[in-house]
Amino acid sequence: MESFEFFFPGRPGLTWRGDGKLVGVVGSGNLEVMIEPVQLKGECLVTISTSVTGYRETWKRVVADFVDRHTLSDIRVSINDAGATPAVVSLRLDQAVAEYLGGPL
């Protein structure tokens, strides 16, 4: 197992509400993503726990790309990963935002 924690400067835009949202499942080649509103002085925090070691840089890029594509601030994204590919990770992250905002599942 390997764990990372990344902070990103936030960009105000989307309004977060409610308790948090969980999508995905911790199964082989899959992951769960939980998104929660947390007071972080406008920043975004992403914590990752993964069963596959040695991919810190890849995770950082995938998550940075996600943060770039949305206007996020004061959120914590928590990930439990069981070997998902970067594409699956990106889709799950987008799904978490979509479901959090009450959009299509």
Q: Does 47 bind another protein (CB under 8 A)?
A: no
Give dist(CA 40, CA 68) in Å, integer: 18
Structure tokens at 36: 């929660």
Q: Does 98 bind another protein (CB under 8 A)?
A: no
Least separation, in Å, of the C-beta of 69 and another protein?
A: 24
**Torsion sign (Cα): 103, 87, 16, 49:** positive
Give dist(CA 60, CA 89) in Å, integer: 12
Using CB under 8 A, pick the residue from 14, 34, 91, 98 that binds another protein: 34
Q: Does 82 bind another protein (CB under 8 A)?
A: yes
Site residues, another protein (CB under 8 A): 1, 19-20, 22, 25-27, 30, 32, 34, 36, 49-51, 78, 80-82
